[in-house]
Structure 1
Amino acid sequence: MAATPTARQRRLGKELHRLREDFDATAEEIANRLGWSQAKLSRIENARIGVRVSDVRLLLELYEVDEGRKGEILALAEAATRRGWWHRYQQVLPEQFAKFVALEAEASSALAYATYTVPGLLQDEEYARRTLESARAVTVDTQRDISTRVEVRMRRQELLLRKENPLKFDVIIDESVLLRTIGNRDVMRRQMLKLLSLAELPEITIRVLPLGVHREPIVGEAFILLKFRSTEDDAESAVAEDEEDVNFSDVVYIDNSWMTAAEFLDESLTERYHRSWEALRSVALSPDDSVQRIYQIERERWSP
């Protein structure tokens, strides 16, 4: 599987590209001075390959970057070379999903719309297992495969609970998701209770889209829209000054279910999904009313 560029790698590449432009030199000129191919420098600036810290140091010295700024960018380079927890699973994760997990880990916030199941970030472990096991009706997945995927799903949820910069997650859940049996009554009741517990966290907002309201547009697929900070406060990414923020476009990931390949949308379509999410939010229940609806469904449909 090809290496997946993280937000740090993309940020580093953009910083190095901007420094070269400030130095008023072409990629060909810099590559020749360092004895590199122009293709190597291009791949570094576009985050298409990993970059060694020693190579970043060479570039910074050539660009005559002052010591303070050099230290910040080298710290970013060190961070960009560190592997995330998901790398241990890269042999078993589909390539597109591995790319999504890497980007999700560095997003500052996410907007999601759930159409058929509770989003993975909010799933109870048994609910997740029953959801993933359902694929075995038409695949050759082993129980070990399922357990590994459940493990990955639970690890992803740590983003919501980390002490520093937890992921801000705002999700719209179609009411049908809360009424649809996954597993059995006990599984569904525990899932409802988990949603109610997570809704109390300040960084998580859960909205229910009632079945009885008209919605426009009618969106059939589940999706998640990842957003990234332009400049973070930690030393690893404090390389951009206020007037030089490095901005990253939002990323939309479409979950077409396990039967078809999930995909990332072209940047030109991202805003369309953002507007769709906002339109759906306008007819969804408020967060407080959504909690009450989840509690009502748990009590009336799933409790013994």
Structure 2
Amino acid sequence: MPHVQLVPTIRRRRLAQTLKKLRKDAGMTSEDVAAALGWQVPKLSKIENVRQQIQPAEVTELLKALGYKQDDLKNAEVFTALENLARDARKKPGWWQTYSGVVSPSYADYISLEEDAEQICEWTPLVIPGLLQTTTYARETIAGTTSSRTPEEIAALAEVRQARQAVLTRRDHPLALWAIIHETALKTRFEIRPTTMREQLRKLLDTTDMPNVTIQIMPSDSTAHPGILGGFSLVSFPGPTPDVVLLENLSGATYVEGDGTQPFTGALERIRATALSVEDSLARIAQIQERHRK
């Protein structure tokens, strides 16, 4: 399975991969496209290998050379998505740059993916997804999983998690989030602040009122499913841009791209089918929340 570590030019990588895939899907060689555009072949090669930027206007011309018609409604999403991606690839890093002292390059890459994403499906067996965490829960879990961060850095990272949640309420096309959480993650206890988990469960219940958020709970007595091998996030984008999968562990983040994401798509369907229904999941959250009152 091809694991690829994304670099800071993540938008350029995604754009280059998509343009290369569309060219191959059209059955055209680099020479064919370069000739149609009046380009030198090395220019197209550099663009597809992320060694040269491409202007939004050049994306438009390239898509036309591949047979896409700009006035065709069926192609409109392709033009819009890739032109915007080319435009965004030239931008400076986003709001998270303010936290560059605590946000690692790989974490910054993922925040960038969230900003561009149309939908994220997460399977989290041990922790509440970051986009659904309260500030206190974030601070306590960050502190509990690291021994090298100062209190100030922990507070800053908790702020980052809260700021990331803006994608769920953005005015234009809020991110669609489908989170499948193992029941075990709902039972964590925090000695310093015992009310942390109860407040976190309340947030989960409140968040389900949002039409773009779906939460399922995997019961402790579930049958075997692919998720027992570990958690992951499947990030999907508008237009033809391929999905990206995030895997996390103590050594950092690993990204899976291209055809390597297909097994995760199938696994996610099986995990969803094994988990409780949305209605039963809400009931289970409320039931566990009541236990945390004791």
| TM-score range relative to shorter protein | 0.7 to 0.9
Q: Which moved more, 1:142-151 or 1:99-108?
A: 142-151
Displacement of 1:96 after TM fit?
Answer: 2.4
Partner residue in 2 for 1:114: 124
For each residue in 1:21-56, what CA deviation from the matched residue of structure 2 results, as whole angstroms up to 9, or x when unmatched?
9999739967xx77xx96564333444554567987
C-alpha deviations, 1:166-198, integer Å up to 9, x for none? Answer: 111111100000012245421111101100000
Q: Structure 1 length normalisation: TM-score?
A: 0.75
- CA deviation after TM superposition for structure 1 residue 108, in Å: 0.7
Please say if residues 178 and 215 of structure 2, whose CA atoms lie closer than 8 Å, have aligned partners that are also in contact.
Answer: yes
Does residue 264 (structure 1) correspond to residue 255 (structure 2)? The answer is yes
Aligned counterpart in structure 1 of residue 185 of structure 2, from 140, 154, 177: 177
Which blocks of at least 5 consecutive residues in structure 2 are unaligned? 1-5, 72-78
Listed one character per residue, the Cα deviations across residues 233-256 of structure 1 (whole Å, up to 9, x for unaligned) are xxxxxxxxxxxxxx2222110121
Q: Which of 43, 46, 52 is the matching residue for 2:46?
A: 43
Partner amino acid for 1:252?
Answer: V
Q: 1:292 to 1:29 in 2, by over 3 A?
A: closer
- The answer to whether the 8 Å contact 1:27/1:42 transfers is no
Q: Comparing 268-277 with 84-93, which one deviates more in the overlay?
A: 84-93
% same residue: 29
Matched, 1:194 2:203: yes
Match of 1:165 among 165, 169, 173: 173
Give the TM-score normalised by structure 2: 0.77
Change (3 A) 1:26 1:222: same
Aligned to 1:254: 247
Distance 1:279 1:98 in 2: 30
Query: Which residue of structure 2 lines up, in the alignment, with residue 237 of structure 1?
Result: none
Q: Say if 1:112 and 1:25 are closer, same or farther in 2 by CA, change over 3 A.
A: closer
State the superposition RMSD in angstroms.
4.0
Q: 1:297 to 1:252 in 2, by over 3 A?
A: same
Residue 155 of structure 1: aligned partner: 163
Number of the residue aligned with 1:291: 282
Q: Counterpart of 1:278?
A: 269
Work out whether 1:205 is the aligned partner of 2:214: yes
Contact 1:9 1:47 in 2 (8 A): no
* 216 and 255 in structure 1: CA distance in 2 versus 1, 3 angstrom threshold: same
**What is the alpha-carbon distance in structure 1 between the residues aligned to residue 173 and residue 152 of structure 2?**
33
SS of 1:155 mapped into structure 2: helix
- Corresponding residue SS for 2:152: helix
Q: Counterpart amino acid of 2:260?
A: L
SS in 2 for 1:263: strand
**Alignment match, 2:9:** 4
Q: Is the 8 A contact 2:9 2:89 kept in 1?
A: no
| Separation (CA, whole Å) in 1 of partners of 2:258 and 2:228 | 18
Contact residue 16 and residue 48 of structure 2 kept, 8 A: no
Gaps of 5+ in 1: 231-246
Measure the CA separation in 1 of the matches of 2:62 and 2:174.
33
The aligned length equals 279
Question: Equivalents in 2 of 1:199, 1:205: separation in Å?
Answer: 6
- Give CA-to-partner distance per residue, 1:94-153, whole Å, 9 cap, x none: 33222222112111111110111101111001100011111343xx22223212211221
Give yes or no for contact 2:115–2:167 (8 Å, CA) kept in 1. yes
Residues 208/13 of structure 1: CA separation in 2 closer, same or farther (3 Å cut): closer
| Deviation of the 1:91 alpha carbon | 5.2
Worse-matched range after superposition: 89-98 or 126-135:
89-98
Residue 95 of structure 1 corresponds to which residue in structure 2? 105
Is the alpha carbon distance of 1:261 and 1:48 closer, same or farther for their aligned partners in structure 2, counting shifts above 3 Å? Answer: farther
Distance 2:154 2:245 in 1: 26
Contact 1:124 1:191 in 2 (8 A): yes
